[in-house]
Amino acid sequence: MELGLVGLGKMGGNMRERIRRAGHTVVGFDRNPDLADVHSLQELVDRLEGPRVVWVMVPAGAATQSTVDELAELLEPGDTVVDGGNSRWTDDEKHAEELAAKGVGFVDAGVSGGVWGLQNGYALMVGGDKEHVERVQPIFDALKPEGPYGYVHAGKVGAGHFSKMVHNGIEYAMMQAYAEGWELLEKVDSVENVREVFRSWQEGTVIRSWLLDLAVNALDDDTHLDKLRGYAEDSGEGRWTVEAAVDHAVPLPAITASLFARFASRQEDSPQMKMIAALRNQFGGHAVETK
């Protein structure tokens, strides 16, 4: 099938390549003309045959809103918009209503896979009406990992981004646990090779995971993470997870503590946050601060 893809950054560019490798046609637009196949949203829409599917992969908030607003004026009844960025689920309901007034469908897709998605596939959590999801299914099938897992139609509009938000909250807590364990191991004189302790956990232990593998990668690059400053940003989804927990009276002590630990990292050079920063760089290509 044909797909319009708006936003060709670290994830969008790799997604375009993976979809093309599956045999589909992708027409990409980005503000950077060196990355783009076309040079305006109008040109992108004109290049696609109806019914069109346009996937938006731009930063959450104002950038996504302005893109959806422009597409609402350009697209025709029967077309579908997919928001694959990290939008807040409450924005999805607004976007779906705005597009429905024009006869355009809307699907929200939580996408996980970071800079490794081209090689390994992207985990997809999707929300929207069944008929709209089915229109995009060949693209979901192209993006997902091989095998039976890695894709779910989680529910109605907003369910995809809500699921991805909770996924990221869990990710916060897992990274925090690895980081705290790493700092404690580094502090004890009797443990002489912390990196190899982490490596030994990669097989046969109950805490083995892809994040653990990435932690070992980071330690191979910088054994004691001496090059990094102990500072870690938060993407916003950790905050939204905690806010949703408050709204629904669901206790999330581990996730909440991991979010607050990131805030603390901005006040001091935290050893634990060196590991968090290294992990975020490993899986997502997020920028790190060096000393």
Give the single-character DSSP code of 224: T
Asked if residue 96 lies in contact with residue 155, where contact means CB atoms within 8 angstroms, the answer is no
3-state helix, strand, coil in the chain (%, to 5): 50, 15, 35
β-pairing, 53-56 vs 2-6, is parallel
- Determine the number of helices (DSSP H) and then strands (DSSP E) in the chain: 12, 7
Q: Residue 224's closest CA among 180, 182, 261?
A: 182
- 27: helix, strand or coil: strand
Q: HEC string of 105-135? A: EEEEEEEECHHHHHHHCCEEEEECCHHHHHH
- 2: helix, strand or coil: strand
> What are the tokens at 16?
């375009």
Tell me which of 144, 164, 183, 274 is the catalytic residue. Answer: 164
- 241: helix, strand or coil: helix
Is residue 164 among the annotated active site residues? Answer: yes
> What are the tokens at 259?
């979010």
Is residue 73 among the annotated active site residues? Answer: no
DSSP string across 62-115: HHHHHHHHHHHHH--TT-EEEE-S---HHHHHHHHHHHHTTT-EEEEEEEE-GG
Angle of helix 159-187 relative to helix 89-100, nearest 10 degrees, comes to 160
Tell me which of 102, 130, 171, 274 is the catalytic residue. Answer: 171
Question: Hey, which residues are catalytic here?
Answer: 164, 171
